[in-house]
Amino acid sequence: MISGSVRRERMGPTIAGWVAAALDTSIEVDRIDVADVTLPDDSLLFPGGGPKSEIADRIAAADAFVFVTPEYNHSYPASLKRLIDWHYGEWRLKPATIVAYGAQGRHAAIEHLRGVLAELSVVTTRRVTGLREPWASLDGQGRYAPDADLTRGLTASLTELRWWAEVLADARRDRPLST
């Protein structure tokens, strides 16, 4: 799971906690918070990634991704785009789902992210999750506690993600794609 916001006072970890609670306990989950990652200077980037980053092996080890992202100015944040651009083969031929949140928007962040992921040969699930004003649905402990419909929708997208993860893990092993 990759959480894309880095602001000091942010919703990202709260939403990531909600997603983590919905994941099947049989799944091994690696939580990457972009705020904890130091990437090299962008002057070193080249097409297809850059020098190996400190989290390249963690991304490479994953069979699927959940992107948790806010919407900033009708898209997803630059912090997340940087993390994506710093890797290339690590993403390839794997599935992802997206959980986006915002004040009014979230669809633009989702669709912009889908387009970028497609360029990296990442398949996104049909079902994705968009949360409007999640800060209005916190429980007494500050956890995100939305209507059951939203949690059901998230679970459906995670079920779809797991199907893709299994299918594509087999395909990467048995039918390598050379192009």
C-alpha span between 16 and 65 (Å, rounded): 12
Write the CA distances from 82 to 36, 48, 73, 109, 150, integer angstroms. 13, 13, 16, 15, 29
* Residue 13: closest CA among 24, 23, 1, 25: 1
Candidates 5, 53, 124, 129; binder of ligand FMN (CB under 6 A) is: 5
Q: Any contact of residue 142 with ligand FMN (CB under 6 A)?
A: no
DSSP secondary-structure letter at 53? P
Are the beta carbons of 131 and 98 closer than 8 angstroms? no
Binding span for ligand FMN by CB under 6 A among 5-13, 41-49, 122-130, 151-159: 5-13
Candidates 27, 36, 61, 73; binder of ligand FMN (CB under 6 A) is: 73
Please give the residue whose beta carbon sits closest to ligand FMN in the complex.
102
Are the beta carbons of 152 and 77 closer than 8 angstroms? no
Going residue by residue from 99 to 118, which x/- string records binding to ligand FMN, judged by CB under 6 A?
---xxxx-------------
Q: Any contact of residue 78 with ligand FMN (CB under 6 A)?
A: no
Q: Any contact of residue 10 with ligand FMN (CB under 6 A)?
A: yes
Contact positions vs ligand FMN (CB under 6 A):
5, 7, 10-12, 70-74, 102-105
